[in-house]
């Protein structure tokens, strides 16, 4: 599967969109409600046009996604150059890296609620996306989070996403780079700065 199309009427947070992005799929999203955030330029989605209608009795605004818009955007994906597809996939590998780094570097500054939310994102993405991309069962991130093995979680991050010494498994499998540095391809994600600790 190379593309994920998610037309919807309304919603607060459509988790499948996040999962599709983290699985390196090009996403088509209705540009309404929570979909508006997913259609910002930085989100690397293809927006789907819609027509307004009203929910019976509540008069809540609902979106009817235009079939012609879906066809138009699917055609755009079909004609898209491999370099553009790689660029869109790269953006969300970087996002997953940021999430892992945030968990590791924020170990002593995040609240328990924040840690729990991050853990859910990391584990669910590993379960539903990373394993499918690599074609194997992938539970190492969950294992090291549950065992508070931050050093080993860092090793797993580097194995999957790369560091300054070697390419990650996802980078090699999906054939992209994170950008350029010194005129050469950078095959490791950008690093988060260390969090400020209040004294």
**DSSP-derived secondary structure letter, 45:** E
Give the C-alpha distances (Å, rounded to integers) separating 48 from 70, 74, 78, 88. 6, 10, 16, 17
Note down pLDDT in tens along the chain; length 199 residues: 678 899 999 877 678 887 787 766 788 999 998 888 888 877 778 999 999 999 988 999 999 999 899 998 888 887 877 777 677 668 778 888 999 999 999 988 889 988 988 898 888 888 877 877 777 788 899 999 999 899 999 999 999 999 999 999 888 887 888 888 888 889 899 998 888 766 5
pTM of the model: 0.63
List, as one string, the DSSP characters of 47-109.
EE-EEEEE-TTT--EEEEE-HHHHHHHHHHHHH--HHHHHHHHHHHHHHHHHHHHHHHHTTTT
């Amino acid at each position: 599967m190379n593309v994920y199309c998610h037309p919807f009427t309304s919603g607060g947070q459509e988790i499948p969109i996040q999962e599709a992005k983290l699985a390196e799929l090009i996403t088509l999203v209705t540009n309404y409600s929570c979909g508006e955030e997913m259609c910002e330029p930085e989100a690397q989605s293809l927006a789907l046009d819609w027509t307004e209608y009203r929910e019976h009795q509540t008069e809540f605004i609902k979106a009817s996604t235009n079939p012609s818009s879906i066809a138009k955007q699917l055609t755009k994906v079909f004609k898209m150059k491999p370099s553009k597809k790689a660029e869109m996939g790269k953006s969300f590998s970087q996002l997953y890296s940021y999430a892992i780094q945030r968990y590791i570097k924020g170990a002593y500054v995040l609240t328990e609620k924040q840690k729990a939310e991050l853990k859910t994102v990391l584990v669910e993405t590993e379960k539903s996306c990373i394993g499918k991309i690599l074609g194997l069962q992938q539970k190492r991130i969950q294992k090291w989070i549950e065992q508070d093995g931050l050093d080993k979680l860092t090793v797993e991050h580097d194995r999957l996403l790369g560091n300054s010494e070697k390419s990650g498994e996802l980078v090699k499998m999906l054939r992209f780079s994170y950008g350029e540095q010194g005129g050469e391809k950078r095959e490791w994600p950008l690093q988060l700065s260390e969090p400020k600790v209040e004294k």
